[in-house]
């Protein structure tokens, strides 16, 4: 279906673009008008014109190019000043780049227009490009035809059936809208991320994984331990329905020790006290200490030994009610 739509809609447009490109490339050929050499034949000034057969309707580009033979160091070129016209060519733009001068001009008259001698100073010597001619072609048969003499009786375009034009315009708009709608739906389907429900344990472990991948422990070890301990406390609070965000570590451990939902609390106590030592005592742990603390956090979340079997029951957060996108947590 999509392949057929592409063939019917876009293939003719692609062929048209290729056709226009062929026309542009065919008109971009250049021709050498004259060449001049330094007395030692080591440097050359070339005058070329583009297109090679200019017409009255074309923009004509004249290029003066200074080159040197292999092994000869390039020398700075000084080009003469040009006025508003060059023969029967009206100059619209002049650009200089290194050893090259590019003149853009508009022909004012069909026929042969002279280009007078052009002296170019190169490396302390003057190389003069001899006089030459450019033959401006015209589709008008009159000899020496000029744009000033062209007259026409062409009348403005008249729409004889405005309803037909409105129908055509509406059809084109509908076609463009349908194509845009089709492309937007395809892109939306491609970019959608499947929604997967996560348990509290999976979500907490994913938070730990993203924290380690952020490499925060290499740039700010204190903040790393803040987020590491907060993740473990968040998991315990969600799992047991305890709400203790403002409690100190000692108060938090006191509550867990007296709560029947908790079993073994030695590991959680050791982990939180180590984190406090880094957060508040400005302890700088070594790399193996950081890794041990991170693995202990994973162990506390993965293991159920320090929580009794009743933990997670009769709480306001269910194991499968939380739903997240795995790639966007």
Tell me the domain boundaries of the chain: 29-140, 197-328
| pLDDT: which is higher, 318 or 61 | 61
Predicted confidence (pLDDT) at residue 114 exceeds the cutoff of 80: yes
Look at residue 115 in the predicted model and tell me its pLDDT. Answer: 85
Using pLDDT thresholds of 50, 70 and 90, give the confidence band for residue 186. confident
- The share of the chain scoring above pLDDT 90, in percent, equals 11
CA dist 47 and 60 (Å) reads 13
Predicted confidence (pLDDT) at residue 210 exceeds the cutoff of 90: yes
DSSP readout, 142-165?
STT-BGGG----PPPP--S-HHHH
Tell me the per-residue pLDDT of 39-51, one tens digit each, with 9 for 90 and over: 777 788 888 888 8
| pLDDT: which is higher, 263 or 55 | 55
Cβ atoms of 253 and 265 within 8 Å: the answer is yes
What's the whole-number mean pLDDT along residues 113-124?
84
Using pLDDT thresholds of 50, 70 and 90, give the confidence band for residue 73. low
Look at residue 98 in the predicted model and tell me its pLDDT. Answer: 73
Tell me the per-residue pLDDT of 216-231, one tens digit each, with 9 for 90 and over: 989 999 999 999 989 9
Predicted confidence (pLDDT) at residue 298 exceeds the cutoff of 70: yes
Predicted confidence (pLDDT) at residue 242 exceeds the cutoff of 60: yes
Look at residue 140 in the predicted model and tell me its pLDDT. Answer: 58
Q: Which tokens in the block code for residue 167?
A: 């129908």
Cβ atoms of 279 and 285 within 8 Å: the answer is no
Pairing of strands 60-68, 100-107: antiparallel
If one counts every other C-beta atom within 10 angstroms of the C-beta of residue 305, the result is 10
Domain spanning 29-140: CATH 2.30.30.140: no
CA-closest candidate to residue 62, choices 18, 104, 32, 100: 104
CA dist 185 and 214 (Å) reads 34
Pairing of strands 77-78, 118-122: antiparallel
């Amino acid at each position: 279906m999509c392949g057929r739509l592409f063939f019917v809609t876009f293939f003719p447009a692609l062929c048209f673009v290729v056709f226009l490109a062929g026309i542009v490339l065919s008109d971009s050929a250049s021709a050498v008008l004259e060449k001049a050499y330094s007395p030692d034949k080591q440097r050359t000034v070339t005058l070329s014109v583009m297109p090679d057969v200019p017409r009255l309707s074309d923009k004509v580009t004249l290029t003066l190019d200074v080159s040197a033979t292999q092994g000869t160091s390039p020398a700075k070129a000084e080009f003469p000043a040009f006025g508003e016209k060059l023969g029967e060519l009206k100059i619209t733009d002049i650009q200089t780049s290194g050893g090259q001068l590019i003149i853009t001009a508009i022909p004012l008259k069909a026929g042969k227009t002279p280009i007078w001698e052009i002296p170019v100073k190169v490396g302390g010597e003057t190389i003069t490009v001899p006089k030459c001619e450019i033959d401006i072609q015209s589709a008008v048969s009159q000899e020496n035809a000029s744009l000033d003499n062209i007259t026409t009786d062409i009348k403005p375009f008249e729409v004889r059936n405005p309803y037909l034009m409105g129908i055509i315009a509406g059809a084109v708009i509908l076609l463009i809208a349908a194509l845009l709608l089709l492309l937007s739906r395809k892109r939306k389907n491609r970019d959608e991320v499947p929604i997967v429900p996560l348990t509290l344990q999976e979500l907490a472990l994913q938070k730990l994984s993203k924290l380690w991948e952020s490499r925060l422990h290499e740039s700010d070890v204190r903040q790393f331990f803040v987020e590491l301990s907060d993740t473990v406390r968040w998991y315990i609070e969600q799992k047991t329905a305890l709400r203790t965000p403002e409690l100190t570590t000692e108060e938090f451990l006191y509550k867990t020790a007296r709560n029947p939902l908790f079993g073994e609390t030695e590991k959680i106590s050791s982990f939180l006290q180590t984190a406090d030592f880094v957060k508040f005592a400005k302890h700088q742990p070594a790399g193996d200490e950081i890794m041990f603390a991170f693995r202990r956090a994973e162990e506390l979340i993965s293991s159920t030994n320090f929580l009794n079997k009743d933990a997670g029951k009769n709480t306001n957060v269910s194991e499968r009610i939380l739903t997240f996108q795995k790639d966007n947590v």
